Each structure stands twice: as C-alpha cells, then as structure tokens.
Amino acid sequence: MAHWNKFDMNITVLTRGLKGIVIFSIVLIVGFSIFHPIIVVKRKEILIAYFNKFIWKSEAPSEQMSFSYVTTDAVSYNSTVEPAPVACLPNSSFNVLTADLRPIYKDFMMYRHCRDFPLLLKASSCRERDTFLLLAVKSLAENADRRASVRSTWGQERTVAGARIRRVFLLGMTESRIRSQAVQAMVEHESEEHGDIVQWGFRESFFNVTLKETLFWKWFSEDCRAVPFVLKGDDDVFVNVENVVEYLKDFNPANDLYVGDVFRNWYPTRVAQSKYFIPLFLYGNEPYPPYAGGGGYLLSGASIQKLYNVSKTEELFPIDDAFVGICAQRAKIEVTSHAGFRTYGNIPYDPCIYKELMLVHRVTPNELWLIWSLLKDANKMPCSRFTKI
C-alpha cells in the first residue's frame, strides 16, 4: 500500500510541475507577443489602418470614393480594386424639395445623375459561350450566408436537361459603418474562390438598387451579350431551375421575354412613413406601367440590351422593379404573368408544391436547404397531379 501511495504522490508532483511549466510558457509567449517591439509596431500599423478606414467611413464620405486601402503585411487587401473615376458632384438644387423628407430622399436626388461607377470585381461566368441561363442574384456584401446557401442549392452551376446554368451575385459596397474593410476583404476572398461576384463601387442602400440594375444591364450588354436568358432574383428566393429551363426551351432568345409575378395598375405609395413612399415630384398620379415583382423574374438577353439602351435616357427611379417596368414600356417589351412566380405569401413546405413552382420569395438560408432536400425526395416519390395551391 505504502508503495502505491508514494507512486501516486510522485505522479501528482509530476503533473503539478508540468502544469506549472505549461502555464509559465503561456505567460511568457503572451507577454512576448504583447510587448515585443517588432510586434508592437505591427499592431500599431494595423490599428492605424482600421482607424483611418473608420474615420473615412464615418466622417468623410467623399464624393469621389477612395479605394486606396491602407495595407500592412498582416492585413493585406487585394489590389483588384480600380481607382475611382472622375468625381460625380452632388446636385444641391433639390434641397428645398426634399427638406421635409427622410434624408435618403435628399441623398437620392443629389446623386441621381451619378450612374458611372467602377467595376471592382468581375465574374468569370460570362466567358463561357455555352451558357443557356444566367442566374443573376442581387445580394449585399455582408450576406455571405445567403450566397453560400444559394451556391450549394438551386444556384449550383450545372447542366440541367442539357442546358448550362451559370451564376453571378451583384453587389455594391457595404453600407455598414463598422468593419466595412473586413467585409470587403471577405467579398474579395469569395470572388477569388468562386469567380461569381460582380461588384461596383457605389454605396449600397435601398434607393441605390435601381443603380445596381442599370449597372448590371450595362455589364451584361458588354460582357454577356451571347447569353440567351437571365433569371434576375434576390438572394432570399428559391428557384426551381428545372422548371425554368423547361419553360425557356420553347422560346427564341432573339425575341423579347419579361416574365414574372406581374403588378398591374399599381400606384406609387403616398404614405409618408412607408419605406416605399414616393413624393409627387418623383412620380405623378398615374399608375406604374405593369412590372414584374422584383423578387425574381425572367428576361431574354435581347430584352436586357433594349432595356439598357432606353435606361440611358431615363432618370433613375428609386423603386427598382417599377423602374424595370417603366423602361420595358418605353422599349415596347410586354410583361407576361406566370403563376409559378410567387413573390408574395407563405408557401407551405410540401415538396409536391415546390415541384410545380418556378420561384418563391422570402426564404431563409435554412429554409433553402430544407426545400432543396425535400425536392430531391419529391423527385423520387409520386406527387398527385392535383397538388396545387
């Protein structure tokens, strides 16, 4: 017994000693890394870099956006960023008109004429000549989770019934005042990894979504003119790509195509508190031309080129989907309603229902996964031909 006790005690002394050494080493390493002069200098550089960026972001949003990030060895940002073009000066002649409105209206009017923004990141998706359908998904820089779930579910680049599907995400610069540099670094990393990001150097905001639309049309008309069809959607939609391809196979891509959940005879909102409020000076008392709900709709490449052409001489309008309708009317493009586009309302999780649809709006990344896996099962199980909603 005594022998065992002594042995136990030796073990205890030994482990205590070891623990002591480990703790001592940790203290030494941490202390070294905090107080070592070289590391202190490096940390200071990083802090200054962030500080500069923060100050620039919060105090001086200059007219001419500056993209010369302060770079240190530790935090190295991609130099894919182009220099900003000639500054677009704000037009203050709308100050009186917008005096009683929320600041975003003044901002919109002051910068409405600024439409030329540098392309910061470019997707490789349109280099391939064989693309049948381009999935163009509006996203915000910070929505990396939504992009990840789109990439691995309906947005997969694949061949569906012989048709090549490709994908791009359309981004501006993040609006968030903090950590914008970190978000930008993440987006650039994503772009390198997936090659599916198109980003322009304008500040993302609710009223700048129309600007994104026209910049997309421009980019498409220059880089993707050979692509026959485009599905334009938000990053919170589910798309049944199989059904979309099936539908498109009957169309001649040289013709016009503008299909979705169509709004006819809708009037601008005059409730000042509404997010969608449109003052009289922006749109008169007539209804909007018919337009497809912005959650998602289909366009032919030929139609996009026409839309781009007329948009050059059309003042930007803050509601992006209504703006598409305004341009379509001018370009004499008919909008067609299709019951498979559900940009409103709750859809129950019945795989047999999703099997029949083309697009559903307002879906979280988790729901996307769920629908995606349910649909796989639905392809195996027989659905009643009468399952409709």
Ligand X SMILES: *[C@@H]1O[C@H](CO)[C@@H](O)[C@H](O)[C@H]1NC(C)=O
| 122 is a site residue for ligand X (CB under 6 A) | no
| 208 is a site residue for ligand X (CB under 6 A) | yes
Choose one: 160-168, 305-313, 357-365, 368-376; the region binding ligand X (CB under 6 A).
Answer: 305-313
| 115 is a site residue for ligand X (CB under 6 A) | no
Determine whether 42 is exposed, middle or buried from the number of CB atoms within 10 Å of its CB (0-12, 13-18, 19+). Answer: middle
* Contact yes or no for 194/151 (Cβ under 8 A): yes
Chosen residue from 186, 282, 310, 370 binding ligand X by CB under 6 A: 310
| 5 is a site residue for ligand X (CB under 6 A) | no
| 107 is a site residue for ligand X (CB under 6 A) | yes
Of the candidates 356, 355, 344, 360, the one whose C-alpha atom is nearest the C-alpha of residue 377 is: 355
Residues contacting ligand X: total by CB under 6 A:
16
Kindly state the smallest distance separating residue 231's Cβ from ligand X, in Å. Answer: 23
Residue 45 is classified by DSSP as H
Residue 269 is classified by DSSP as B
Query: Rounded to the nearest 5°, which phi and psi values hold at 337?
Result: -90, 140
Nearer to ligand X, 156 or 309 (CB): 309
| 207 is a site residue for ligand X (CB under 6 A) | yes
* Contact yes or no for 100/273 (Cβ under 8 A): no
SS3 328: helix
Chosen residue from 306, 325, 363, 378 binding ligand X by CB under 6 A: 306
Kindly state the smallest distance separating residue 68's Cβ from ligand X, in Å. Answer: 16
* Contact yes or no for 278/319 (Cβ under 8 A): yes
Choose one: 198-206, 240-248, 257-265, 341-349; the region binding ligand X (CB under 6 A).
Answer: 198-206
Chosen residue from 205, 221, 243, 336 binding ligand X by CB under 6 A: 205
Q: How far is CA 342 from CA 14, 167, 292, 347, 377, in A?
A: 69, 21, 11, 8, 22
| 202 is a site residue for ligand X (CB under 6 A) | yes
Residues that bind ligand X (CB under 6 A): 65, 91, 93, 104, 107-108, 111, 202-203, 205, 207-208, 306, 309-310, 313
